[in-house]
Chains A and B, each alone.
Chain A
Amino acid sequence: MSAIVEKKAGDTLPPVTLPPVTRLDLIKYAGASGDYNPIHTIDDEAEKAGLPGIIAHGMWTMGNLAKLFTPYYEEGFIETYQIRFRGMVFLDDVISLQANVSEQQEDKITFDVSAKNQKDEDVIKGKVVFSLD
């Protein structure tokens, strides 16, 4: 793992592919976050809401994506983390997390970040500004 400070526009952070999404993942996230909206854990409630099945919390995916940056906290921290929720994540989906440097300044590095499903569709997309302060 090379230092984040050496990253230049066009460079990427090592991508991560998550294991297929399980019901237990979402139950654990509900408990840890306090978001008990039943469309994330109970089939009947998801169907009543017009969904084909339970869907992951958008914040679960956003939380996972941030881990690309966790190894670099000795160099700085995430100053801005901006996400648009673009698509739903279903059980058994395989999510890939990516971060590419879009801009490098003296004290900040800006990344385009995304989480894509197995069909290469963006489920979340946004940017991270990593402060080297």
Chain B
Amino acid sequence: MFEDAIGNLSNKVKNTVERGAVRKFADAIGDAHPIFVDEEAGKTSRYGRNIAPPTFPRVFDYGEIAGLELPNKGLIHGEQIYHYERPLLVGEDIHCWTEVKDYKEKAGKSGTMGILSLEGKGEDQGGNLVFRAEQVVIITEAVRRGMEA
């Protein structure tokens, strides 16, 4: 059902690695380490600033992709990969967008499932790629039927 969306890109969205958001996120995963949350520790670190945890890009806005309207319920997250050129720095702006890399349907025991592969990217103010985020989402038969109804 999303075959036609393969190759579609979202618009680019500016996101800021906000200090408060990083603190809240680090706390929510039980990892409020000084490298993430203590300003002095950040200054004296090899990065010269606080950094964000590697799964922090989950909070970014990646824009809207034409032809890809996903339900907000019932999706299964199958796989997640992050590739970093360097860690995210607290306070910097990151421009994010996403692309539909692939969509397949596969017959299984509980009906046909859709397998959607998305790739998000984030680049810094200088236009340098900072990270790529690949994601595989499983769309079950029940969810697909709900969307067609």
Main secondary structure of the interface of B (DSSP, over half): mixed
* Contact residues on B (Cβ < 8 Å of other chain), bracket: 35 or more
| B81 at the A interface (CB under 8 A) | yes
**Known A-B contacts A39-B73, A59-B77; A64 and B84 likewise in contact (beta carbons under 8 Å):** no
Q: Which residues of B contact A81 (CB under 8 A)?
A: 54-55, 81-82, 84
Interface residue count for A (Cβ, 8 Å)?
35
CB contacts (< 8 Å) of B33 on chain A: these are 67, 70-71
Q: Which of A58-103 touch B at CB < 8 Å?
A: 58-60, 62-64, 66-67, 70-71, 73-74, 77-85
Verify A77–B28 contact, CB threshold 8 A: no
Q: Do the beta carbons of B87 and A77 come within 8 Å of each other? A: yes
Q: Are A73 and B87 in contact (CB under 8 A)?
A: yes
Per a CB cutoff under 8 Å, which of B25, B36, B80, B84 touches A33? B25
Pair B73/A83 contact, Cβ less than 8 Å: no
Contact A33 B28 (CB under 8 A): yes
B24 interface residue, CB < 8 Å from A? Answer: yes
- A67 B78 Cβ-Cβ under 8 A: no
B19 to chain A, nearest CB (A): 13
Neighbouring B residues of A34 by C-beta, 8 Å: 58-59
Residues 13-55 (chain B) with a chain A CB within 8 angstroms: 21, 24-25, 27-31, 33, 35-36, 45-47, 51, 53-55
Q: Is the CB of B31 within 8 A of A59?
A: no
Residue A3, interface by CB 8 Å:
no
Interchain CA distance A28-B30 in the complex, whole Å: 10
- Within the complex, which residue of A28, A62, A66, A80 is in contact with B28, where a contact is CB–CB below 8 Å? A28
Question: What residues of chain A lie closer than 8 Å to B45, measured between beta carbons?
Answer: 73-74
- Chain A residues whose C-beta falls within 8 Å of the C-beta of B73 in the assembled complex: 37-39, 45, 49
Bitwise, A7-22 to B at CB < 8 A (1) or not (0) is 0000000000010000
Can you list 28 A-B pairs with a CB-CB distance of less than 8 A?
Answer: A25-B28, A28-B27, A29-B28, A31-B24, A33-B28, A34-B59, A35-B58, A49-B73, A49-B74, A58-B80, A59-B58, A59-B77, A59-B80, A60-B29, A62-B80, A63-B28, A64-B30, A64-B31, A66-B29, A66-B53, A67-B30, A67-B31, A67-B53, A73-B51, A79-B83, A84-B78, A84-B79, A85-B80
**Contacts A18-B30, A80-B81 supplied; 19 other A-B pairs, CB < 8 Å:** A28-B27, A28-B28, A29-B28, A32-B21, A32-B24, A32-B25, A32-B27, A37-B72, A38-B73, A63-B28, A64-B30, A73-B46, A77-B86, A77-B87, A78-B54, A81-B82, A82-B80, A84-B79, A85-B78
Chain B contacts to A: CB under 8 angstroms: 21, 24-25, 27-31, 33, 35-36, 45-47, 51, 53-55, 58-59, 72-84, 86-87
